[in-house]
Structure 1
């Protein structure tokens, strides 16, 4: 299975709106063509046909399929097998058995139910899982709740717990973690704050539902010039220092060196994008 290198700004696009496919890919670093929640039940087959007739770059495309055990799952997989797409997002991933049904694909496992979040570690350990994402609203719905966020916009504790659980599971098995969508589309300030927190916490990408959110997410995941300059100087100092050293009043050890390397790696990626 391949490593996951899509992102950091990933955009959902309804599979039954092929007129949006190319535009979405122009705006985003990667696109999730959605055969699940974004498509009404009576339009699923038309969405699969649109997927077949409007190919995108498979290196920058993920296809979200319906959950294992639903009537549309087998039809989704049958359609994707006729394309060059080999990275899928498995909605409501819950068990290793779910992942065994898509063993021939690179899987972004979407943990968005109570069982899926509890099993995030097992899911992350699966050979064909290349990334994990968590979903707030479906998770809270699976618990019988009404909303994942407070009126202020911040997540409720149970959602924050799930977010952390999925991030830790991904990190434990060296898989990429993708942060959930920010549904208040006009609130770019809130999106920026949440995206900055996602990057700082260790998420490798953030999913989104509107092309206007792409620049905000990229801004959050791209290090500033000051961060790049400081990281460069820290690593240069490390080359002529033995062990732990002091840099501008701060003790620098291996964890801080890893942070500096990560900043430069993100800078290189943003430059390529």
Structure 2
């Protein structure tokens, strides 16, 4: 299996309502974006009576804003029908792509066809109750396998909607991996990642509970997620910190990928086997290239120490 780890460059993806008063300034480059990727939301972040205003706002932004920001911009329509409408807007090529809400296997082809025809990328969102069934993840994966994987910036897992399917919501002090979502996160992510798809972790929506956020992102990283949704700029540095790589892992990854490396060797008491660990090593160095090395005692290390 060939893995593409370029989606690490998404970093923390900030969700913003399209009608947020700072969006125009961000897109014009008048304010520096706090994140490396952003989703301008026309779906759950908008009340029904704000939808028309949101569509007009997007149309005006595409027409008048040069989008000077280096941030990667995605738009989340409310439905496939709205996505088809937005794809016809003048200037839609200024954004990188769409977030496909509540995708299911039966709608995957239509979303992928839309992205392909509009020359955009797509971020399918797995958030419907049917995805508690591994068979539905398999069906989605098979539907997506008919398309070039490069069309997919990431597959997002929608934690809040999955919790809502059980009449639950997130609790303070408990990570997603310690609560009722643990099984579905592990199941869905492992089935998709092992098929070569980049998968992004659910939002942590208790803004003031930074310590639990830190623990959760560490668990996300260990599970192979390549990005995490943020709902507040204050979360972004903590998400990025968790994606930084230890010097020990960098050293091992470089040794594993070194030309002429032995079939098996140990570093610091840990077995390294290039034939088995090559993809892990490539993942580690991809993370390092984007996020850098972990800090110790407030000092960010370099490879030289």
Indicate the TM-score class for this superposition, using the shorter chain for normalisation. 0.7 to 0.9
Distance in 1 (CA, whole Å) between partners of 2:281 and 2:181 is 30
Q: Is the CA contact 1:35–1:76 (under 8 Å) kept in the aligned structure 2?
A: no
Residue 220 of structure 1 aligns with which residue? 242
Matches within 5 A, 1:100-119: 100-105=110-115, 106-118=121-133, 119=136
Residue 101 of structure 2 aligns with which residue? 91
Q: CA deviation at 1:219?
A: 0.7
Q: CA deviation at 1:21?
A: 5.1
Q: CA deviation at 1:235?
A: 3.3
SS in structure 1 of the partner of residue 19 of structure 2: coil
How high is the TM-score relative to the length of structure 2?
0.75
CA, structure 1 residues 252+218, in 2 after alignment: closer, same or farther (shift >3 Å)? Answer: same
Residue 164 of structure 2 aligns with which residue? 141
Q: CA deviation at 1:52?
A: 1.9
RMSD: 2.8
Q: Does 1:62 align with 2:74?
A: yes
Q: Does 1:121 align with 2:138?
A: yes
CA distances 1:122-174 after superposition (whole Å, capped 9, x unpaired): 2234125442111122122224x132x45532336541122122212321321
Q: Is the CA contact 1:133–1:179 (under 8 Å) kept in the aligned structure 2?
A: yes
CA distances 1:13-41 after superposition (whole Å, capped 9, x unpaired): 10112523554871111001111011110
SS in structure 1 of the partner of residue 216 of structure 2: helix
Q: Does 1:267 align with 2:274?
A: no
Matches within 5 A, 1:222-241: 222-232=244-254, 234-235=255-256, 239-241=259-261
Residue 207 of structure 2 aligns with which residue? 185
Q: CA deviation at 1:94?
A: 1.7
Q: Does 1:153 align with 2:153?
A: no
How many residues in Structure 1 have an aligned counterpart in Structure 2? 261
- Consecutive unaligned residues of structure 2, counting only runs of 5 or more, are 116-120, 293-305
Distance in 1 (CA, whole Å) between partners of 2:280 and 2:196 is 16
Residue 58 of structure 2 aligns with which residue? 51
Residue 250 of structure 1 aligns with which residue? 270
CA, structure 1 residues 188+157, in 2 after alignment: closer, same or farther (shift >3 Å)? Answer: closer
Alignment partner of 2:216 out of 174, 189, 194: 194
CA, structure 1 residues 151+187, in 2 after alignment: closer, same or farther (shift >3 Å)? Answer: closer
Q: Is the CA contact 1:94–1:123 (under 8 Å) kept in the aligned structure 2?
A: yes
SS in structure 2 of the partner of residue 10 of structure 1: strand
Distance in 2 (CA, whole Å) between partners of 1:48 and 1:267 is 38
Residue 71 of structure 1 aligns with which residue? none
- Consecutive unaligned residues of structure 1, counting only runs of 5 or more, are 69-73
SS in structure 1 of the partner of residue 114 of structure 2: coil
CA, structure 1 residues 58+142, in 2 after alignment: closer, same or farther (shift >3 Å)? Answer: farther
